[in-house]
Amino acid sequence: MDKIVIEGGKRLSGEVKISGAKNAALPILVSSLLADGWSTFTNVPDLRDIRTVCKILENHGATVLLDENDSSVIRINGSGLNNFEAPYDLVRQMRASILVLCPIVARLKKARISLPGGCAIGARPINLHLKGLEKLGAKIELKHGYVEASAEKLIGAEIYFDIPTVTGTENLMMAAVLAEGRTILGNAAMEPEIVALADVLNNMGADVRGAGTSEITINGVDSLQPVNSRIIPDRIETGTFITAAALTKGDITITDCEPSHISAVINKFELAGVKIKSEKNTIHVQGQDVITSVDVKTLPFPGFPTDMQAQFMVLMCAANGTSMITETIFENRFIHVSELKRLGAMIKVSGNTALITGGAQLSGAPVMATDLRASASLILAGLIAKDSTSVSRVYHLDRGYEALEKKFANLGASIKRVPE
């Protein structure tokens, strides 16, 4: 297993290119199961979660071709789809595997998918995915740790999500596109990844309207065609580089990104005193000597994303004053706090609120990554900590950040990956 070793104190500068978004790529690659024939996806990030979803699609009978010359191009042919079962060994590697549930029921009339279970950041139930699929006419049973779903025919219905769920909305969109009649998804998630999936489905011949608002209307069609699609930029990777520039008082130009997808994040950085200039697909960040404390509450899009909470907390550790971060999406998403404290951060957690006293001089230490975004926050902390920080268990990082340490090294960070 590798670890990332950082010598803190370098000011970052230069240009960094943002990769395709993991959380857009996952449902979009899965959507290839809905059509016979070759779909081509470009700007796919080279990540462990992407390799996992490819294995899952192959397990169901799809053919997956990776481009030998360009790892960001993946071709998938869904015409071989024949296996309705996703075993525990595959699903436990990535919770988002549950995204195959609805497409498989829509095409094979039944699915048997292992229940994903919880993860470090929370219990993460899938009850809303199941309730929605049931409303579309599927019979659902939970047996021996598996969801067993069957439906001779899916029929459009009105589904209201008690909580806006990102993968739940995506899953049900992929059932409704092939259901008979009209489906309305109320209180739907509004994330850019939902809009990206809707665009792909519409290019396949589906009729999905209202994606990006809280009500999505889907008129079912008989069949869909394969598609060519470019994955949208990763807004969380973008936010992570903004944090790095702000923390190291650096000067970074972030290219190939989509500023409108992170308006709430940019707003908080500006309140913290960071100078940000956004153009069409570029963000220029100039860190300032003084970072002002700002309170943050995580919310569904267009609010401040939970996936940026750990990174922003590191910025607040370096701010001049006290700030409060409230996590409202996941019940256990402060696991990075105890590791940040090992570096000298002054943070008190009470329930879903963290009180951060800024101004601590962080000093390097060995720390352990506990989930994807926590890993990024520890590396960010390492960039400003005195002396050496080593972050172990970086397989979490490799799930969702493409070559993060190489991108930081290109910006002037002293950072390397070493075998543990």
- Yes or no: say if 269 and 340 are a contact pair by the CB < 8 Å rule: no
If the CB atoms of residues 9 and 125 are measured against ligand EPU, the closer one turns out to be: 125
Chain-centroid distance of CA 99 in Å reads: 14
For the bound state, the minimum distance from the C-beta of residue 185 to ligand EPU, rounded and expressed in Å, comes to 13
Measured distance CA(31)–CA(192) in Å, rounded: 16
> Which x/- pattern, by CB under 6 A, does the window 100-139 give for ligand EPU?
----------------------x-xxxxxx----------
Q: Is 217 helix (H, G, I), strand (E, B) or coil?
A: strand
If the CB atoms of residues 122 and 273 are measured against ligand EPU, the closer one turns out to be: 122
Instruction: Please tell me whether residue 307 binds ligand EPU under the rule CB under 6 A.
Output: yes
Q: What is the CA radius of gyration of the chain?
A: 21
Cα-Cα-Cα-Cα dihedral sign, residues 120, 319, 19, 262: positive
φ and ψ at 282, to 5 degrees?
-135, 145
Q: Within 360-419, which residues bind ligand EPU (CB under 6 A)? A: 372-373, 400
Q: Within 128-187, which residues bind ligand EPU (CB under 6 A)? A: 128-129, 163, 165-168
For the bound state, the minimum distance from the C-beta of residue 236 to ligand EPU, rounded and expressed in Å, comes to 6
Q: Is 119 a catalytic residue?
A: yes
For the bound state, the minimum distance from the C-beta of residue 61 to ligand EPU, rounded and expressed in Å, comes to 22
How many positions of this chain bind ligand EPU (CB under 6 A)? 24
- Yes or no: say if 31 and 197 are a contact pair by the CB < 8 Å rule: yes
> Which x/- pattern, by CB under 6 A, does the window 23-62 give for ligand EPU?
x--x------------------------------------
- Yes or no: say if 196 and 235 are a contact pair by the CB < 8 Å rule: no
- Yes or no: say if 76 and 57 are a contact pair by the CB < 8 Å rule: yes
Which residue stretch of 11-19, 299-307, 343-351, 390-398 sits at the interface with ligand EPU (rule: CB under 6 A)?
299-307
- Yes or no: say if 370 and 335 are a contact pair by the CB < 8 Å rule: yes
Size of the chain, expressed as the number of residues it contains: 420
Residues near ligand EPU (CB under 6 A) are 23, 26, 96, 122, 124-129, 163, 165-168, 189, 305-307, 329-330, 372-373, 400
**Annotated catalytic sites, by residue?**
119
